[in-house]
Each structure stands twice: as structure tokens, then as C-alpha cells.
Structure 1
Amino acid sequence: PPGVGFPGPSGGALGIDAQAHKGALAAGGRTVAVMGTGPDVAYPAVHKAMFAQMEAGGGARVSPFPFGTSSFPSNFPARNPIIAGLAQAVVLVEAPSQSGALQTVAAALDLGRDVFVVPGPITSPAFRGSHGLIRDGATLVEHPMQVVEALGGGMIQPLPPDEGEGLSETQQAILACLNGGPMLTEAIVRQTGLNAPLVLAELTMMELDGIVKKGRDGYQRGL
């Protein structure tokens, strides 16, 4: 987790990849995007500003492809072993049974990396791949500090920032939901109108930074 001193590699794509990079940047950490294009090609184009911010903060874009290589569907599986190779561990937030993220997990296991899986609703097809890994022996995690402790950083306690300062619009929306007290993840999703994987990823990063904390009744403000 980049918020506690671990650089965070990911795939630079839309969705959870982008949230991993943005979470690292919001925490003041470094992050590396492993591209399915040439390293000079900003793909997707909507992430051009994010890539520039990553590089300015000491991160990088790397690729197994030559400069100028365009985006082709067959390119993206080739980057997954590189993501696993750059990581000390892989945390799987959500994966259906045919997810490309499972290729990254397979590469991580081949390389002897730790694999952590965040569980989801047992009725959701979006988590069937995740739950299959848990059945096969992957480590289930419910709290970001469980990952930190497993990686030898259990004593690191990040300082909470001033309220609202340095938070993304998404994080501010989540924090505003907690003004009235603790709230379950599902309720935060409903109230913000954001999709569940995005909320889960942001809550994870916010918890690492001490902005929120999780208790028996859900998440509450940590400030």
C-alpha cells in the first residue's frame, strides 16, 4: 500500500487500475504504470494528466513494448507478469471468473509473491474469481493494515491530513457521508451514487491514511 511507504504498481487502465494509481498519488506515494502500449503512448488518453502527475512524483510508465506501439487487446496480458514482478504482493479487490486480474495473480504465485484477496458478496458474479482464490488458499484480507503487517510494516502509522486537504472529489464525497456517524460500505455506495469497487478502493486508501476507520458498525471518520 503506497500510503504507508510501499510503491504501488498497476496497469494504468480505467477502473481499479486508475484508482490504485490515484490512491498512491493522493497519499503522496510513488506509483508505476505497466502499459499495454509503448511507454510513450498515453493510453487511455483520459489518463494523460494522471500519468504526468505520476512521473512528476517519482513514478514511471514502463512497458514490454517498443516506443510508439498502439493499443491492441493482445498486448495487455503481456503486461500482467510485469505488474506481479514489480510488486511485493498482489491485492485482488474484485475479479469475476474470467478476469484479466487472475492472470496477474497466477504470475504472482509463479514468482512466489504473496496474494491477498478482498472478499465480496457471495451472490455477486463479479467476485467469483476472487472467492475461487480464497477457496484455493489465498489470504483473505478485510483490513488494509493486515496487508501492511504481512509485509513487515505493521508499526507504521500514517499521519492523518487536515480535513479535506489533498483529498480527491470522490474521497470528499465519501467523507461527507460519514458526518452523521458510522456507515456500511453498501450505504456509502447508495448515498454517493458511486460504483462499489471504486468506493471500496477509496475507503482502503483513506483507511491507510487515517482519514476513516472501520469498526463493527461500518466506516467512520478518523479525523
Structure 2
Amino acid sequence: MAYLPREAVNLTGGCYCKAIRYTIKVPAWEDRPAVPNALETPISANDKIETRMPMVDLDHCKNCRTQAGCIIQCWFIAPVGWVEWDLISKEDSTGQTLHLSTPDAVGPASQETSSHSTFVSWFNCTERATRSFCSRCGTNLSYVSHKYLGTPMAFVDIAVGSLDAESLEMAKPDRHGWWDFGVDWIKTLLSKGDGGFMIKHQTGDVTKAIEG
């Protein structure tokens, strides 16, 4: 259910070069669908609540790690109908954008439509899913499962790192996924912290610290 306000909220994000933008329209709590068979979400040391969409998941699987090129992927998992996309057209010099649904923008349907005229690139990572990224700047964007497309159960995973800063503040992960596939030191770091031993450069700029 993520750590979001119970009222309706819009989250925004997109790729680094801004050729691809999206809006996630999260409805109020009572209108968010429950997640079948999901573990309940802790909200305090003693209390748990029913898990509803969206889920924000730290994904430890090897496929997501290697595709994103980072130590771990983090997904904002939501129904496909919540996410709308605004894509710059390669063929339109006026700066106008295409406003598309998730299946048409980054799902299987995009392979025959928008992907040819926008900067969305995709590949079928398996027979059951499509991943997308920006072909101009390389930002990893989404994972769309084919299994439930066309049904009320259809969902999309949005890369949390592509959210705008204000939206990212609200997208705190509530669970670990594919835990058994994780790398031990990454699992320890994410579940127990660094123990206070990792160096924190005062300037925040490692290059300047090395050159200085």
C-alpha cells in the first residue's frame, strides 16, 4: 500500500532528458484495489493493514539489477490505468506531445505504434513482459507484465528513480521482493544499514574530494 497519504494524490516523473513524462494518478484509499495474497503492510510496531495498490518494492532479482545497472531496482507497482504518458514526437518539430495510456506508450502495443515515433524504446525481457527505457538519454522506466493486460488486474512497475523529487519523497518502499535472489551484502545494507562506517564526503562531490 506504500506510505502515501490516504487522500488522492498525483505523482509525476520521466526520463532524464524529458522526452518522456508520466503522471501516476493514485486515487483515495477506499478506491485502491486490494492485492490478493499479499502480506499485510506494517504501519507501526504492532499494527498492520490490508495491502492495497500501489506497492513500492525493492526488487532483488538479478534480471532487474543487471538491466538497470544498479545494485537494486525499486518499483512503484500500480494498475496500468493509473499511469498516463506524455511523449515527445520525433516527427513533430512544434514540441507537441503524444498523450498515451500505459499499454500504448510502454507496453506491447507500443511496439507497433508510438515506439516508432517517440523516444520510447522497449524489449521483451521474457515472453511475459516488456521493459522500456528512453532511447535518447537511457533512463530505465517501466516493466509491464503481459499476463493480465486487458483485465482489471493489469499492472505496471514504474522505476522509482525516475520520479520527480517531490513525488520521490512520497514513494518510500514498503517491502522487499525476490529476496532469495539477492546479493548478501546488498541485503544487509538495505535491511540493517551501513553500521556508520561508510564514508560521507562533506562536499557530496567525490570528484572534487579526490582532485583536492
- Check whether TM > 0.5: no
Higher relative contact order (CA 8 A, sep 6+): 2
Name the TM-score, length of structure 2 as normaliser: 0.25
Task: Point out the structure with the larger helix share.
Answer: 1
Highest CA radius of gyration, 1 or 2? 2
TM-score (norm 1): 0.24
